[in-house]
Chains A and B, each alone.
Chain A
Amino acid sequence: MSTSHVLLGLLAGGPRHGYELKRSHDERLPQAKPLAFGQVYATLGRLERDGLVEQSGQDRDGGPDRTSYVITEAGRARLGEWLTEVEAPAPYVTSALFAKVVVSLLASGERTATDYLVAQRTAHITRLRELTAVKTDSAAAVGDVVAADYAIAHLDADLRWLQTTLLRLADLNEEMNP
């Protein structure tokens, strides 16, 4: 995910300090890793260099977290482009799962790979249940539900993959360890 585009999006609502940007990033995208301050200032620096944001003021006591930024016309144009771009349907954690199955077969054997798949499935199902509980909480905000939907759909895809991989494991093993 692109932090610079997310910051541009947050600035589209009006000028903000670096500290406020971090806070609203973490609040708006609770599923994402919290932003480090260093990352916020580094990203703002790049955006400023590229003419996508500019400094709009300093509070009296100076300091980097007291500088506020505003989005420029070029910044708005860039944001508009990003918002209409389709993201590449990238394989997600499945690549890590796949790597583990392959390494299991290479380094240990079918039994280890099977045990791993079973354990991974359990972990996925547990997470799926937690995310579903978020959705059925009557106090849940629509934003939380939408974020949970996204994670659930991806976990479900992984679960299907775990199932089919298990069915193909003997063949895969044969192919890799002829």
Chain B
Amino acid sequence: MNTLLQGTALHRAYGPTPALRGVDIEVTEGEIVAITGPSGCGKSTLLHCLAGIMRVDSGSVRYRDQDIGLWSESARSKLRRTEFGVLFQFGQLVPELTAGENVALPLLLGGAKRREARKTAEEWLDRFGVAELADKLPGAMSGGQQQRCAVARAMVTEPRALFADEPTGALDVLTGEQVLGEIVRVARERGMAVVLVTHEAQIAAYADREISLRDGALDPTGLGLRTHA
């Protein structure tokens, strides 16, 4: 399998606070990788750097063997729009737009025709079991329904990689499981890679592989052991 994303010696600090201290990570095409570790260990920072949302202080992020740190902001923005999908814990839908309009948005930004975008958006809403919400505003939906729409929006462009940061963290257990199960099923069906950030073992178990962090560095044992193994 080909390498899709490769982060090498990634460093990133917020002022004096180091968040990543030399992380190496590789994601192959179609692979589902969980990034785990306790709160504050750098999971979200790593995800933002890999997704090209945040720049690294040093080290490189390569997408299909190209160093995206060398790209212009507009090239990175296009990469995010066309090849990547992102999903956060909550609050990503535009409140003034209906579910159908929200999901169609990435397609319209990519230059799709309105009718075509609308039709594809409806297919994706249907795939996540919320076709009947197409004309509803986010404010009129439950948390689970909103998150299903957000998933549909993140996947509607059929990105090569989906970046999901605690995507079920705000949902009740059963809804969270269903949403995650659907994400994984669709990703496998379409060969999408998924980078899944979570601090829960049960959620990480949906992935093919787990990468643990501790204090901004890889933790090969996943148990926060100092230096043996």
Complex alpha-carbon distance, A152 and B184, angstroms: 18
Contact check, A125 vs B184: say whether CB atoms are below 8 A apart: no
> Which segment of B97-105, B132-140, B218-226 sits at the interface?
B218-226
Contact check, B181 vs A118: say whether CB atoms are below 8 A apart: no
Q: A136-B181, A136-B184 are in contact. Are A114 and B228 (CB under 8 A)?
A: yes
Q: Identify 12 new A-B residue pairs, CB closer than 8 A, beyond the known A129-B205, A167-B224.
A: A111-B228, A114-B225, A114-B228, A118-B223, A121-B223, A125-B204, A125-B210, A132-B205, A136-B181, A136-B184, A152-B202, A156-B201
Contact check, B185 vs A128: say whether CB atoms are below 8 A apart: no
* Nearest-Cβ distance from residue B36 to partner chain A, whole angstroms: 10
Contact check, A163 vs B202: say whether CB atoms are below 8 A apart: no
Complex alpha-carbon distance, A127 and B207, angstroms: 13
Contact check, B225 vs A136: say whether CB atoms are below 8 A apart: no
Contact check, A136 vs B223: say whether CB atoms are below 8 A apart: no
Q: A114-B228, A118-B229, A138-B185 are in contact. Are A132 and B206 (CB under 8 A)?
A: yes
A76 at the interface (CB under 8 A from B): no
Contact indicator per residue, chain B 7-45, by CB within 8 Å of chain A (1) or not (0): 000000000000000000000000000000000000000
Complex alpha-carbon distance, A153 and B221, angstroms: 22
* Nearest-Cβ distance from residue A136 to partner chain B, whole angstroms: 5
Contact check, A125 vs B185: say whether CB atoms are below 8 A apart: no
Q: In the complex, which residues 138-178 of chain A have their Cβ closer than 8 Å to any Cβ of chain B? A: 138, 152, 156, 159, 162-163, 166-167
A to B CB contacts below 8 Å, 19 in the list: A111-B228, A114-B225, A118-B221, A118-B223, A118-B229, A121-B222, A125-B222, A128-B202, A128-B205, A129-B205, A129-B207, A132-B206, A136-B185, A136-B206, A156-B202, A159-B201, A162-B223, A163-B223, A166-B224
Residue of B nearest to A131 (CB): B205
* Nearest-Cβ distance from residue A133 to partner chain B, whole angstroms: 9
Contact indicator per residue, chain A 111-138, by CB within 8 Å of chain B (1) or not (0): 1001001100100010011011001101
- A-B pairs, 10 with minimum CB distance: A132-B205, A128-B205, A129-B205, A136-B181, A159-B201, A118-B221, A156-B202, A166-B223, A136-B184, A132-B206
Q: A136-B184, A138-B185 are in contact. Are A125 and B201 (CB under 8 A)?
A: yes
Q: In the complex, which residues 177-229 of chain B have their Cβ closer than 8 Å to any Cβ of chain A? A: 177, 181, 184-185, 201-202, 204-208, 210, 221-225, 228-229
Complex alpha-carbon distance, A136 and B202, angstroms: 13
CB-CB under 8 A from B204, the residues of chain A are: 125
Complex alpha-carbon distance, A72 and B207, angstroms: 49
CB-CB under 8 A from A118, the residues of chain B are: 221, 223, 225, 229
CB-CB under 8 A from A114, the residues of chain B are: 225, 228
Complex alpha-carbon distance, A117 and B229, angstroms: 12
CB-CB under 8 A from A131, the residues of chain B are: 205
Complex alpha-carbon distance, A70 and B206, angstroms: 44
Complex alpha-carbon distance, A159 and B204, angstroms: 12
CB-CB under 8 A from A128, the residues of chain B are: 201-202, 205
* Nearest-Cβ distance from residue B178 to partner chain A, whole angstroms: 10
CB-CB under 8 A from B222, the residues of chain A are: 121, 125
CB-CB under 8 A from A129, the residues of chain B are: 205, 207-208
CB-CB under 8 A from B228, the residues of chain A are: 111, 114
CB-CB under 8 A from B206, the residues of chain A are: 132, 136
* Nearest-Cβ distance from residue B226 to partner chain A, whole angstroms: 10
Contact check, A135 vs B181: say whether CB atoms are below 8 A apart: yes
CB-CB under 8 A from A117, the residues of chain B are: 223
CB-CB under 8 A from B201, the residues of chain A are: 125, 128, 156, 159
Residue of B nearest to A158 (CB): B201
Complex alpha-carbon distance, A103 and B184, angstroms: 41
CB-CB under 8 A from B205, the residues of chain A are: 125, 128-129, 131-132, 152
Complex alpha-carbon distance, A118 and B210, angstroms: 14
